[in-house]
Amino acid sequence: MKQIKIAMVVHREEGGGFWAAFPELPGCFTQGDTLDELRAHAVEAVSGWLETMRAEGHPLPETGTAIETIEASFEEVA
């Protein structure tokens, strides 16, 4: 079984919980109440997406997107 690394962008929900998108996999999203739950759902979502694309004869994506964070400063307005 082949394993690949896929970038996951995590978003916090206003009412609690999280959802994630996968930039290299159009239309692939998942959600979870906690980050641990989100990660578990992410593995299932990505695996299902890849299996569906393969079954339908679509080429699998080339991976390589890197997500990094930066720190930026700004002036707070009172």
**CATH code, domain with 1:** 3.30.160.250
DSSP string, 58-70: PPPPPP-------
DSSP single-letter state for residue 51: H
Q: Using one digit for the tens of pLDDT, what is the confidence trace for 13-32?
A: 999 999 999 998 999 999 99
Domain count, the chain: 1
Band of pLDDT at residue 55, cut at 50, 70 and 90? very high
Query: Does residue 41 have a pLDDT over 90?
Result: yes
Band of pLDDT at residue 4, cut at 50, 70 and 90? confident
Measured distance between the N- and C-terminal CA atoms of the chain, rounded to whole angstroms:
56
Q: Residue 55 sits in which domain range?
A: 1-78
pTM above 0.75, yes or no: yes
pLDDT of residue 51: 94
Number of residues that make up the chain: 78
CB 62 within 8 A of CB 4: no
